[in-house]
Chain A
């Protein structure tokens, strides 16, 4: 159970039409999706850690779905209030940074400890 990767519309081609919050949310979702699919086949993380990671992804997915963050609706609403827009964008930026650095850390760690896993990750991407 969980959000299907197809639920996150990948709108790179039309990314000029959507706002910064939607683009950040899509980037976070895509990173989490690819990380989940990579970690699903591996045994480097314990079952508890994998479950925690999936739960994080589900939380972000539910938040984005409730506000239609992947589309233009969220940015349209955030235009009404500059302070709320700044806070939301900052939070999404922080999540993206953490996910990216976390994945980078995992890739470096696994590249040293598990070179075949890193190679599989690279090939699957």
Chain B
């Protein structure tokens, strides 16, 4: 408020008489009106401390004649006014700080050259776990991409080498063991499968495993989508 009044007062008292000739002022603009406004602005800019101290504040305005030797009270009053101008601009400077923070917080747009091969997997992980650390997401994205490439190579290798069908018995494969590790559990499903199924149901999603192709439930072999081998699985939980 004070800063604005000072600027306008300076503009009225200094610039207008210099820019406009007296005859123009006399005809187009009421000269007395301008003079009265300037006096009013001086009154509004007057420092209340001066009135309390009882000192004259007629010289407190910066538009006064500087050629006159100012008293110490006038110097103090002018200094107070200048510092008040700076204080009035504090909000403007704070707004600059906010703008700078906002500018720094904006993340740069990724270009095509910046997108890495594992970016798709990293994005998928980030969507599911948005609060996870960026380094961890990036690492898991890389690992997943490498695993996908490994499976792809394995699939191509099998397709090239195996001309005939080599049916793998997934469900009925039995190995000779001591029996300690193959004791029947309380549930017919593996704990990880059960937990994943429960979590999928809790999230309102469908099963993570793709549906079995036609005829698979009847025992017919089919090609695995991941490794490319010919397998036989009649239930979803066997297809892992």
A102 — nearest CB in chain B belongs to which residue?
Answer: B75
Partner pick for B80 among A48, A59, A87, A91, CB 8 A cutoff = A59
The B124-178 residues at the A interface (CB cut-off 8 A) are none
Residue contact B93 to A67, C-beta cutoff 8 Å: yes
- Taking a contact as CB atoms under 8 Å apart, the answer to whether B83 and A66 are in contact is no
A66, B87: Cα distance in complex, Å:
10
Interface bits A61-99 vs B (CB < 8 Å: 1, else 0) = 001001100000010111011001001100110110011
- Complex CA gap A25/B60 in Å reads 22
Q: Which residues of B contact A53 (CB under 8 A)?
A: 76
Does A84 lie within 8 Å of B76, measured CB to CB? Answer: no
* Residue pair A67, B90 in contact (C-beta under 8 Å): yes
Cβ-defined contact, B79 with A98, below 8 A? yes
Bound: A74/B93 CA distance, A: 8
Closest to B99 in A: A80
> Main secondary structure on chain B at its contact with chain A?
helix
Shortest CB–CB separation between residue A38 and chain B, in angstroms? 14
Given contacts A56-B80, A63-B86, contact A77 B75 (CB under 8 A): no
Residues in B159-203 with C-beta less than 8 Å from chain A: none
Convert A21-65 into 0s and 1s, putting 1 for each residue whose CB lies closer than 8 angstroms to a CB of B: 000000000000000000000000100110011001001100100
Which size bracket describes the interface of B in this complex? 20 to 34
Q: Is A98 a contact partner of B75 (Cβ separation < 8 A)? A: yes
CA distance A76 to B84 in the complex (A): 22
* Nearest CB of B to A63, in Å: 5
List B contacts of A84 (CB < 8 A).
89, 92-93, 96
Structural contact, B86 and A105, CB atoms closer than 8 A? no
Q: Is A112 an interface residue (CB 8 A)?
A: no
Contact A99 to B79, CB < 8 A, known contacts A63-B87, A77-B100, A78-B96: yes
CB distance from B150 to the nearest CB of A (A): 50
Bound Cα distance A84, B84 (Å)? 15
CA of A87 to CA of B88 in the docked complex: distance in angstroms?
12
Is A111 at the interface (CB under 8 A from chain B)?
no
Chain A residues with Cβ below 8 Å from B69 are 105
**From B80, B87, B96, contact of A77 by CB (8 A):** B96
B33-52 residues at the A interface, CB under 8 angstroms: 49
CA distance A23 to B156 in the complex (A): 70
Asked if B106 is at the interface (CB within 8 A of a chain A CB), the reply is: no
Chain B 79-113 per-residue mask, 1 if CB under 8 angstroms from chain A, else 0: 11011111101101100110110000000000000
Instruction: Determine whether A113 belongs to the interface, using a CB cutoff of 8 Å to chain B.
Output: no
B97 touches A95 (CB 8 A): no
Bound form: Cα–Cα A56–B79 in Å: 7
B70 / chain A contacts, CB cutoff of 8 Å: 102, 105
Contacts of A49 on B, CB cut-off 8 Å?
Answer: 72-73, 76
CB distance from B130 to the nearest CB of A (A): 31
13 contacts between A and B (CB under 8 A): A49-B72, A52-B49, A59-B80, A59-B83, A59-B84, A63-B87, A74-B93, A77-B100, A80-B96, A94-B62, A95-B82, A102-B72, A106-B72
